[in-house]
Amino acid sequence: MNNKLVAMIVSSTQYKEKDALVRMISEEGKSITMIAKGANAPTSKYGAYLQPFNVCAIECHIKEPLSTFMSASILKTFSFSDIHHLAAASFIVQSMDAINQMEPHNFDCWKAVEYLNLIQHSMMAALLKFCFNCFEMDGRQLIVDECVDCGSLQVSGFSLSAGGFVCKNCSHFEKVDLHDIEVLKTLRCISKAPLELTYRCPSHALSMGMIQLFVHDLKDSIPLAMKSWKFMDDLV
């Protein structure tokens, strides 16, 4: 019996001469691999359907370890203005897929849609929001309301090793990574905002170097798509 599901395409790679191996994230938050027979044939319409970031209604035959794709219709597509945005989308979606393989149901396809929508508004805000999400999954809630050491509201910097904001007095005892007041305001806004409203946070003060700080701290505990990250980082 055929099954029906809704999923976002993560990747599609050629398999044998005319087939494709397709990775996808379902709306239940499962990572699934399917073989799409004939998808790479010149006459197949499904090769275009099974491209990264498309959300599809899929008919398939579910079985372990490899399900079989039967047919699909596209529900939503994404296109990005430049290679930087495309690379950011690949990093986030491929990381979601890797995380779901380790622990299912962390990210469903509609959560991925929200992040891709955010990338179209602000790539940096989307990357930083995703990092905050990963810190929470890792059991590390970064403190961005007050000094993590003494509770003072008069903060002057951010220390990743300390776990959040630090005040001027406590900064003498911590390794402070970020000092700019506009950056601190942005960190607080993006951390606190719901994902669908994160686009309202100012992001002009963010940089790839700052995002790199978070990614490199997370990569040993969260299975991030570091090949995609390196490609994106090399573009800068």
Helix, strand, coil share of the chain (percent; to 5): 40, 25, 35
* Within this chain, domains 3-76 and 83-235 share the same CATH topology: no
The fold for domain 3-76 equals OB fold (Dihydrolipoamide Acetyltransferase, E2P) (2.40.50)
105, 209, 210, 236 from 213: Cα distances, Å:
27, 6, 5, 15
- The pLDDT assigned to 206 comes to 95
- The pLDDT assigned to 236 comes to 65
Per-residue exposure over 133-162, b if at least 16 CB sit within 10 Å of its own CB, e if not: bbbebeebebbbebbbbeebeebbbbbbeb
- Tokens standing for residue 81: 């203005």
Kindly tell me the burial class for residue 170, based on how many C-beta atoms sit within 10 Å of its own C-beta (0-12, 13-18, 19 or more). Answer: buried
- Over residues 188-204, the pLDDT tens digits come to 999 999 999 999 999 99
Q: What's the whole-model pTM score?
A: 0.94
Look up the CATH number of domain 83-235. Answer: 1.20.1440
List all residues 6 or more positions away from 12 whose beta carbon is below 8 Å from its beta carbon.
20, 21, 22, 23, 36, 39, 47, 50, 51, 52
* Residue pair 18/38 in contact by the 8 Å Cβ criterion: yes
- Over residues 72-130, the pLDDT tens digits come to 999 999 998 899 999 999 999 999 999 999 999 999 999 999 999 999 999 999 999 99
Domain boundaries, the chain: 3-76, 83-235
CA distance 85 to 223: 21
Residue with tokens 């905002």: 193
